[in-house]
Amino acid sequence: MSVLRDIIERKARRETIRRYGFTGKAGIEADPSYRGRVGLKRELCIGCSLCEKDCPSAAIQIVQDEKGKRPILFLDRCMFCGQCKESCPTKAIYMSSELELPVFDRRELEVM
């Protein structure tokens, strides 16, 4: 069946196609074992650098600021393997169940 024919038939049946990012996502839930967006609880971080050393995709960089060492997580490099979460001795890094990560600016994918 051609694409044009399919579109015409759908239009005749008054079917619509949902756009990405539609509202009313109540039926969409992540599996409990799903590894979504990586988060950081800054108050628990001790700056040990284990997460940076264990990250296979080099998505974590340790920086020094006025409060001491802290990690910056770059989600655009992350492959969501969960190794940083497993290696963190204070459980400062966690994986959420957030399904969608699209952004317009790469800086929004930096977790500090």
| DSSP assignment letter at 5 | H
Mean pLDDT rounded to a whole number for the chain:
84
Q: Give the pTM.
A: 0.71
pLDDT, tens only, 3-58: 888 878 877 887 666 555 545 555 566 777 888 889 999 999 999 999 999 999 99
Domains of the chain in start order, with CATH, are 36-111 (3.30.70.3270)
Which residue, among 79, 77, 80, 94, has the nearest Cα to 41 in the 3D structure?
94
- pLDDT (average), residues 80-96: 94
- How far apart, in whole angstroms, are the C-alpha atoms of residue 71 and residue 13? 53
Percentage of residues in the chain having pLDDT higher than 70: 85
